[in-house]
Amino acid sequence: METILAFLVLIGVLVWFHELGHFLFAKLFGVKVEVFSIGFGPVLLSKKWGETEYRISAVPLGGFVKLYGEEDAVDDPRAFSSKKNYQKIFIAFAGPLFNFLLAIFVFSLIFVVGRPTPSYVLKEPLVGYVVENSPAQKLGLQEGDLLLEINGKKVSTWKDVEGAVLESILKKEWKVGILRNSQRVILSGKVDLSKAGSFGAEPYIAPIVGRVLPGSPAEQVGIKEGDEILEVNGKKVKSWYSAAYYIKSAKENVIRLKIRRDGQIFEKLVVPVKDKNTGIPIIGVSPRIEVVKVKEPLGKAVFESLEKTKDLTVLSLKAVWGLITGGISVKTLGGPIAIAQLAGESAQQGLIAFLGMMAFISVQLAVFNLIPLPVLDGGLILLFLIESIRRKPLSPRFKENWQKVGFAIIIALSAFVILNDIVRLMTGNRL
């Protein structure tokens, strides 16, 4: 129920802002707005204020603004068809623009209010663990390496590393500068991060239990917060990541843990269970991580939100290009079920996490709508640009066929991503 509610709130806000952009710019240029609808299909609620009917409809996967004279040429100064092409372009672009503005506003709000941040994010990027078979390991990174730069971008904190990796997520050739044994070393090689899920270079996190899940195998055998894990099945543990790796890769049905508590050493026998989403053996513990609340002054918050929105936009455009060229598998696409999952999970983590996810999806929605496909805002903008260059309208028959092609593409794409979502649910794979 929480997932459904979070999804409806998310989609409702994103669609409302998107359609509000079309609505306000239509009003700005004197176009009569006949309908403002959140959702498609059967009308659930309807109210007419002034000349516009406002609706909430049954299918909450989008919305629309119906403009007078949008479908037929009408000789009326208040008709959309009577407006200049540059005005039509602004009206079409206003929807994605408002999604960008929503993302900037939400990110700014998060930065000003403050978001809980692991303290290690602000520390120097000293590698404490390298994930097995990860891009970082394939490049040759080792525990104890100090990261200096990633693909030409200097990094001085783990926060910088996150940003550099995000910018380079679609790169195939990587160069990473490190400091190893007081010597500067350049590691280079081919990396496909889009399939790996993460870079694989992690900060040092002490193997100390921060939380024990209620009802978990760990709680059942008496593991407590503050316990330090020393060994897993006889293997010495250096960090939390190595403990987690030994647990998930254990072939035994019973895992033997050696722990330290208040200076005393104990042994615990734990029977792991498989995570319902990943199928990986877990015992139900998470690490102790110092968390600080990072706040930014308004000016810096706005600047950082602009930077983050720009980076996400560039990354989204690169992803679209990767899908077109085959560099990224179409199986990575997610639909409404995947979005609902993300909405529910982020809502469980708190308001800040939910707002951050909303801003992220808002950027994706803006970029998607600017793709020059029929039916999408980008397709309309393309038509109006062509008409401006030709200096005469396109034929009604061409526009009709253009719309039909657009609907066919969108229906096929929607069916594909929903099928993708269902397959992921059935197999336990996540985005």
Residues with a catalytic annotation lie at: 19
Q: What are the structure tokens assigned to 92, written together? A: 């079409």
Reduced to 3 states, what is the DSSP secondary structure of residue 395?
Answer: coil
Rounded Cα–Cα distance for residues 32 and 24 (Å): 11
Q: Which of 40, 76, 33 is nearest to 56 (CA)?
A: 40
Cβ(8)–Cβ(60) below 8 Å: yes
How far CA 68 is from CA of 24, 26, 78, in Å, comes to: 14, 10, 7
User: Alpha-carbon torsion 324, 408, 92, 367, what sign?
Assistant: negative
Q: Give the β-pairing of 115-118 and 291-294.
A: antiparallel
Total residue length of the chain: 431
Residues 6+ apart with CB under 8 A from 144: 126, 127, 180
Q: Which residue has the tokens 């044994």?
A: 181
Could you say which DSSP state residue 126 is in?
B
Cβ(200)–Cβ(189) below 8 Å: no
Number of H helices, E strands in the chain: 12, 18
Cβ(5)–Cβ(342) below 8 Å: no
- Residue 375 dihedral angles phi and psi, to the nearest 5°: 85, -40
Q: What are the structure tokens assigned to 374, written together? A: 């029929």
Q: At what angle do helices 351-369 and 298-325 cross, to 10 degrees?
A: 50
Rounded Cα–Cα distance for residues 201 and 120 (Å): 13
Cβ(78)–Cβ(32) below 8 Å: yes
Q: Which residue has the tokens 């990587």?
A: 174
Q: What are the structure tokens assigned to 227, written together? A: 């316990």
Q: What are the structure tokens assigned to 182, written together? A: 């007081």
Cβ(188)–Cβ(208) below 8 Å: no
Cβ(63)–Cβ(37) below 8 Å: yes
